[in-house]
Amino acid sequence: MRIAVFGLGYVGVVSAACLARDGHQIIGVDPQAEKVALVNAGQPPIIEAGVAGLVADAVAAGRLRATSDPAEAVAATEMSLVCVGTPSRRNGSLDTGAVERVCGQIGAAVAAAGKPHLVVMRSTVLPGTMRGLVIPALEAAAGGAAALLKIANNPEFLRESTAVADYDAPPKTVVGAAEPETAAAVMALYERIPGPKFATELEIAEMVKYADNAWHAAKVAFGNEIGNIAKALDIDSHKVMEIFCEDRKLNISPAYLRPGFAFGGSCLPKDLRALTYKGRELDLELPVLESLMRSNAVQIDRAVERVLETGARRVAMLGISFKAGTDDLRESPQVALVERLIGKGLDLRIYDRNVHLARLVGANRAYIEDRIPHISRLLSEDLAGVAAHGELVILGNSDPEFRRLPELLSPGQRVLDLVRLAGLEAIGAGYDGVNW
């Protein structure tokens, strides 16, 4: 395929070199004459392992050249990859000036060329940028030729110093597009690349890159704060984290990473409080760890707001233990939610087959009798009756019994799902999720 690559920085040069190596005809585009001259001389304008040889080979084979003329590049190609920078402004907002400028150049060039062109955004842009800026800029510049444009988002997952290796073996390949055929055309560039491939919506493709990088930043900060505590206690933090990373069932896994409701139970809140208290004893500043309980509380605040926004006065709560299959109510965020809603004057009824006073013993019974006796009076063993009570039905945990919920509902009842139990989306317009 004939491809123009706009922006000859790290992402652009690596993408151009690897695509040329794979047999595509590539034209690099950059406003800096020095970069264009270097590429045309077979030299990369960046320092990156493996790139120099790829650029030299591609230029020698006639599969890679560079220009400062966008119109020339678009006229000679079928696809443009936009790989320009999106740096931070002083206030932290994203500077999309280069993206908008290039989109204007490509749109105008497509109008002049008068032939179909696929524009692929590789630059990192915030969710909504494709529809709010990229597509309008391209279409405005193309004018009456806007119908010739096909547009996609294809975030890169390249790390500096290992970018060629990452291109050849990415953790995933993601293409966002409005039309399946557009996504397929972009995905064809990577048919020989291993790893999972996802053709998805534009906004999901935009958001995935930010989720990745925020998670990577969180992992670094978390590891460093564990290291702060370990060093203060004369513990080898690297040995601690080596063992931590061997747990691929919970620690290095999808577990706990699905958006939903707040965490709870008898372990996570208690142990997090103890660890941050120990940090204070050691005169350590641990902003990441110390923010987690507050972040958790914000999720409960959001759920309260979502309930109140519905205007419902009668509420059914299905599942009050912090997760299905347990009768433990200690630190349950579902209990905290119920207490907040009672305080707002709502009429609640609660069903949880694992939480019935007559069957509870020991700490769980004592917790209900001593700490939340007012909630125990709202518990019922009649699922259908509780469900029928609610103008709004809140799904609190993922007990398989709640898969029956659609057949228990009457017209007009609404559902707020805290756990995303599979199949409940079929309820339709009355269904909503707390974080989706």
Copy the structure tokens of residue 422: 């599979």
CB proximity list for 17: less than 8 A, separation 6 or greater: 44, 51, 54, 55, 58, 64, 164
For 435, half-sphere exposure in the C-beta direction (CA atoms, 13 angstrom radius) is 15
Q: Are 328 and 322 in contact (CB under 8 A)?
A: yes
Return d(Cα 196, Cα 181) in angstroms, integer.
19
Q: Are 289 and 276 in contact (CB under 8 A)?
A: yes
Return d(Cα 55, Cα 173) in angstroms, integer.
23
Find how far residue 60's CA is from the centre of its chain: 41
- The single residue of 18, 83, 103, 267 carrying the catalytic annotation is 267
CB proximity list for 97: less than 8 A, separation 6 or greater: none
Q: 335 to each of 234, 308, 421, how far by Cα in Å?
A: 39, 17, 19
Return d(Cα 122, Cα 364) in angstroms, integer.
53
Place of tokens 């926004």: 309
Copy the structure tokens of residue 264: 């709870």
Q: How many residues does the chain have?
A: 436
Return d(Cα 113, Cα 143) in angstroms, integer.
13
Q: Which amino acid is at 207?
A: M
Q: Are 415 and 395 in contact (CB under 8 A)?
A: yes
Q: Which amino acid is at 143?
A: G
Whether 83 is a known active-site residue: answer no
Copy the structure tokens of residue 358: 């007559």
- Helix H or strand E encompassing 208: helix 202-232
Q: Report, as residue numbers or ranges, the catalytic residues.
A: 267
